[in-house]
Structure 1
Amino acid sequence: MDGTDLPGRGEPLRARFLSGGTQNVIYELTRGDARCVIRMPPPDAPSDRDRGILREWRIIEALDGTDVPHTKAIGVCDDADVLGRPFYLMGFVDGWSPMDQHAVWPEPFNSDLSTRPGLSYQLAEGIALLSKVDWKAKGLSDLGRPDGFHERQVARWTGFLDRIKGRDLPGLEVATGWLKAHGPLDFIPGLMHGDYQFANVMYQHGAPARLAALVDWEMGTVGDPKLDLGWMVQSWPSSDSDDAAMSYVDMRGMPSRDQVVAHYAEVSGRQVDDLDYYLVLAKWKLAIVLEQGFQRAGDDEKLLAFGPVVTDLMASAAELAESTDYRG
């Protein structure tokens, strides 16, 4: 930090663990009045996480100067000799995460339902603004392969499922066949998050709801930003009484799926008439992603719980595919 002339020179360095697991660890670092956050793979993380960390850094650095709420890019170190793994430093976000609340929103969003719609509209606005980033001008032309993006989705994830498959998934053939036969009405490549949901954003304190930062860029790439939208709303509850949908947060008082999708369209300038395609793709893809966890669950209760979620998602993808009149 001293070698790159960061604030706090001469002050003692204090570290506070914030979060982490098998893929990444995150600590708050403080030197005097200066605060930042370090993100790096733990010692036993797979070797490809080193490339992943440097990839995340490129996205965070590219967001500087854009309208996308993001953590400030402070510095990166690709030399594993310094701390054992590559790492980067980003700005400390003085805000709150929905995942810190144990499914209970902080005040005033908990007791005043009239404040809640803003949480959803801000969530949609985050990826709408992300979709407008000029990724070529930001030097991210080699971050992903937008050409053939949708064709590769089906081929890549069916191949992945074949390698891990341990059971039949009802609806898989129907949903896969439908995706092979359909595509979006248009495809405008852009920067996408890859795992966009309430779990991966932070809000500023207090009302009205305001996004503080999009976080956790492990799946970030250049692809189709509208897949972020489909991912975000694929399990959006149909009503306040739909307790099975998005049960990790309290969705009472939130706007309808159509309303948040319309807000995304207004901010992003993209058409959303092909939403059904993205909903089928998102449900189908998420089912396959979660199936990996279920197949390696052993006696891990959290991973075992993915089992019925996977089958429900795949059945829902197939049901939507069969019922929609979408012809794209």
Structure 2
Amino acid sequence: MAGGTPPRRRTAEVRSPDSGVEDLVDVAALQDWMQSQGVTDGPVRLGETLGGGTQNVLIKVRTGDRDMVLRRGPRHLRPRTNDMLRREMRVLEALSGTEVPHARLIAACPDEEVLGGAVFYLMEEVDGFNPAVGLSGAASRSLDVRRHLCLSTAAAAATLAAVDHEAVGLGDMGNPTGFLERQVGRWRSELVSYSSFAGYDGPDLPGVEALGDWLDDNRPAQWRPGILHGDYHLANVLCDHRTGSVAAVVDWEMTTIGDPLLDLGWLLATWPRGDGPEILSDGVRALAGVVDRDDLVREYAERSTRDLSSVDWYVVLACYKLAIVQEGTYARACAGLAPREVGDRLHAGSLVLLARAREITGT
């Protein structure tokens, strides 16, 4: 501007104990966007990265005296990362008026241009702990609180299943028609596709074919569509330090409209037993034996009008599906596309899942 004072660019303070976080978030661009959304009228500071690697990234953000969390894809975006995050944004917005425990959505940016190709959103920071990592607060000291924590996971799943997905604006998400009918064929095809990975000799998953047949032969005749989290287990909840209650269900990227009883099946399939390898991290062992499967089902039933007479079928489907999903990482590890130790651990977990399923089916 001739004869004038050059415009002054706002600066943003970066506080990052993790190297490379500036590559994930252009702080000046984030600040400009937050101001345009009415989230702040002051400077923005970044805190530590809460998650990362190959998964979606969580980064603390502070403006004034307000703390929040930014969620975006990993440094190297996968082909579907942005679409999955857009789905998360939509789900969190839909849940805002419900009783489902979740981190409140503050603002969403489905535009890829703001952060150089990555969509993102801001959500409230939840003061809670992940029980799959370890117990904290009262839960580490009190058996009663641990029991409440366990039952709260079933209660939260039932609360989600009770939401009218059409009333909250998710009526056009997913394809619930034939959802149960297509599960076995979908995941059989997925398992076959792994043979394309060089170095993978094919699945060594005892009983997987028989389990697929059992699922097709015993499929529930009737079910009611609802919101399905899609990956519901102890590692995807944050619990209150004082009460143990589920403070937030997290990681909504697999959410669809399907049969919500699969979330209950997933919770039961992955529940810690303490008598061998765990499906989740070893932190869950502290909850082994605190409640049993019947306790969780009763807690769910008290908050649900759904027919739970076929709950075993949903547990078997969860074991079957998750075993095949994990085998995919093992196949990629055999091809050198994922860490071998991770692939070996997940393959071992698949064997445990299939063994649990065979306990139910007798196959």
TM-score, normalisation: structure 1? 0.91
Matched residue of 1:81: which SS?
A: coil
C-alpha spacing 1:114/1:26, structure 2 compared with 1 (3 Å): same
After TM superposition, the structure 1 stretch with the greater mean CA deviation from structure 2, 308-317 or 64-73, is 308-317
Residues 174, 318 of structure 1: 8 Å contact kept: no
Distance 2:139 2:288 in 1: 10
| TM-fit CA distance, 1:230 | 0.4
Which of 348, 352, 355 does residue 308 from structure 1 map onto? Answer: 348
Taking only aligned residues, the RMSD between alpha carbons, in angstroms, comes to 1.8
Residues 133, 283 of structure 2: 8 Å contact kept: no
Matched residue of 2:60: which SS?
A: strand
Q: Does 1:113 align with 2:110?
A: no
Matched residue of 2:36: which SS?
A: coil
Residues 233, 270 of structure 2: 8 Å contact kept: no
Letter aligned with residue 249 of structure 2: L
Which of 253, 257, 281 does residue 222 from structure 1 map onto? Answer: 257
Matched residue of 2:43: which SS?
A: coil
Distance 1:100 1:251 in 2: 11
Matched residue of 2:303: which SS?
A: helix
The corresponding residue for 2:248 is 213
After TM superposition, the structure 1 stretch with the greater mean CA deviation from structure 2, 307-316 or 273-282, is 307-316
The corresponding residue for 1:96 is 129
Q: Does 1:257 align with 2:293?
A: yes
| TM-fit CA distance, 1:319 | 4.1
Structure 2: 5+ residue stretches without partners: 1-33, 196-201
After TM superposition, the structure 1 stretch with the greater mean CA deviation from structure 2, 246-255 or 116-125, is 246-255
Letter aligned with residue 269 of structure 2: Q
Letter aligned with residue 209 of structure 1: G
The corresponding residue for 2:30 is none
Matched residue of 2:315: which SS?
A: helix
Which of 301, 308, 318 does residue 358 from structure 2 map onto? Answer: 318
Which of 246, 271, 276 does residue 236 from structure 1 map onto? Answer: 271
Higher alpha-carbon Rg: 2
Letter aligned with residue 245 of structure 2: R
Which of 307, 323, 329 does residue 271 from structure 1 map onto? Answer: 307
Structure 1: 5+ residue stretches without partners: 324-328
Which of 290, 295, 314 does residue 326 from structure 2 map onto? Answer: 290
Which of 64, 88, 108 does residue 96 from structure 2 map onto? Answer: 64
Matched residue of 1:21: which SS?
A: coil
Distance 2:311 2:75 in 1: 41
Matched residue of 1:148: which SS?
A: coil
Q: How does 1:24-173 map to 2 (within 5 A)?
A: 24-84=56-116, 85-101=118-134, 105-165=135-195, 166-173=202-209
What's the CA shift string for 1:156-200, capped at 9, x where partnerless? 111000101423322012101111112125311000111111100
Distance 2:329 2:277 in 1: 20
Matched residue of 1:36: which SS?
A: strand
| TM-fit CA distance, 1:203 | 1.1
Matched residue of 2:92: which SS?
A: helix
Identical-residue share of aligned pairs (%):
41
Residues 39, 87 of structure 1: 8 Å contact kept: yes
Distance 1:172 1:131 in 2: 28
| TM-fit CA distance, 1:306 | 1.8
The corresponding residue for 1:326 is none
Distance 1:216 1:61 in 2: 14
| TM-fit CA distance, 1:253 | 5.1
The corresponding residue for 2:216 is 180
Distance 2:79 2:270 in 1: 33
| TM-fit CA distance, 1:312 | 2.9
| TM-fit CA distance, 1:322 | 2.9
| TM-fit CA distance, 1:225 | 0.4
| TM-fit CA distance, 1:61 | 0.5
C-alpha spacing 1:314/1:100, structure 2 compared with 1 (3 Å): closer
Which of 197, 213, 220 does residue 233 from structure 2 map onto? Answer: 197
TM-score, normalisation: structure 2? 0.82
Letter aligned with residue 242 of structure 1: D
Distance 1:110 1:13 in 2: 33
Residues 128, 240 of structure 2: 8 Å contact kept: yes
Matched length: 316
After TM superposition, the structure 1 stretch with the greater mean CA deviation from structure 2, 241-250 or 224-233, is 241-250
Letter aligned with residue 180 of structure 1: D
| TM-fit CA distance, 1:233 | 0.5
The corresponding residue for 1:3 is 36
| TM-fit CA distance, 1:44 | 1.1
